[in-house]
Amino acid sequence: MRIGIVCPYSFDVPGGVQNHVMDLAEALIGLGHEVSVLAPADEDSPLPAYVVPAGRALPLPYNGSVARIAFGPVSTARVRRWIIRGEFDVLHVHEPLTLSLSLLAVLSARGPVVATFHTAMTRSRALAAAQGVLQIVLERITARIAVSALARKVQVEHMDGGAVEIPNGVAVAKFSHAQPLPGWPGECPPGRDGTIGFLGRFTEARKGFPILRDAFVELARQRPGLRLLVAGPGDADDLFGRFPADLRDRVTFLGLVSEEDKARMLRSVHLYVAPNTGGESFGMILTEALAAGTTVVASDLDAFRRVLDGGRAGRLFPTGDPAALRTALTDLLDDPGARAALTACGDQVVATFDWPVVARRVLEVYAAAIEATDGRVMDTEWVGLD
């Protein structure tokens, strides 16, 4: 099968949707299919061979963060050329309601279109400004995939249609076989040592880093060997300035890490903490931590609860409560047996998210979309594109 996949967000900056697209493409290629991915990126960016760069992206506030997207006449022309040259059996777009390449691809498509919705947002200022276009986009989509129950709920209640729920995948072997970083994690005897991990934008409010910081500060004063390993974008001085001077040597900042080093980072901690306060439709980092064999402690968000099998594959704590997080961390640091039980359940849960398993489910949707269109070619004329 010839498959065209469109990512709306720039490959020059790492992100959950970008990682999803790359992992899906590689899983499909591994299953014997021909895949081309179109994404915003500079022409000279180091990219996998299957990725076609669509040019430099521009920042757009989206879902409490900043997405880097591509839109306009130049992007439209590039999308059309890519579709014509690709002669795809199916076009798979991600986040088609974002003002970027995916939306343009739907409007330019001539065959079956499958769309994956990652977020649980119902509206934004950008979307509100383009309601007419969005209705046309939705009408041109042949089949919809939602990565979570929350994302699917948005489709049913706000987008006039349903969606097949297929979760984000995770390359389990990549994480389970990764080597810890040098000197990490070390032993974790009850009552003293241990390493806590956090990955994400520590400056972004919804990622909940202040909750973890407050819990860590209290615990670190009681546990002389407790350490915190942080990875993600941001300034080191800004991060260290958030901690008391006498505890800064217990915090290690890796900065922005590659996918390989992310896996190594997750293998280097005893407990991975996701203190997010909202805006999450799935919880990709949780499946990655589970794949790495790391015990997970997470906010009791609906999306996280679903990934962690209601708390059987990871410890949940009340969202936004640093005292409750501190209690959860204390319990698990002092109880290796409890950590082992959670990770054992996590191994079973994450097996269902392994990319070959997920990719086969996506292929079933492709097949249904192709059958639904029965080889028909859609009219792509729309004056607003030019």
Which residues lie across from 145 on neighbouring strands?
116, 164
Q: What is the largest CA-CA distance in the chain?
A: 68
Please state, as a whole number, how many other Cβ atoms lie within 10 Å of the Cβ of residue 171.
22
* Count of residues in the chain: 386
pLDDT of residue 99: 79
pLDDT of residue 41: 81
pLDDT of residue 255: 96
Output the tens digit of pLDDT for each of the chain's 386 residues.
999 999 998 887 777 889 899 999 999 999 999 999 999 887 777 889 999 988 776 655 555 555 555 666 778 889 999 999 999 999 999 999 887 899 999 999 989 999 999 876 555 554 555 556 677 888 899 999 998 877 787 777 666 677 899 988 999 999 999 999 998 876 555 545 799 999 999 999 999 999 999 999 999 999 999 999 999 999 999 999 999 999 999 999 999 998 899 999 999 999 999 999 998 878 889 999 999 999 999 999 998 999 999 999 999 999 999 999 999 999 999 999 999 999 999 999 999 999 999 999 999 999 999 999 875 666 555 434 44
What is d(CA 256, CA 3) in angstroms, rounded to the nearest whole number? 31
Task: Using alpha carbons, list the distances in angstroms from residue 349 to 20, 307, 360, 378.
Answer: 18, 8, 18, 41
Helix residue ranges, H only, 242-283: 259-266
pLDDT of residue 378: 62
Two tokens at 311?
Answer: 């708390």
Is residue 3 within 8 A of residue 34, CB to CB? The reply is: yes
Cα first-last separation, the chain: 31
What is d(CA 283, CA 208) in angstroms, rounded to the nearest whole number? 14
pLDDT of residue 142: 95
pLDDT of residue 386: 45
State the Cα torsion 186-259-175-301 to the nearest 10°: 90
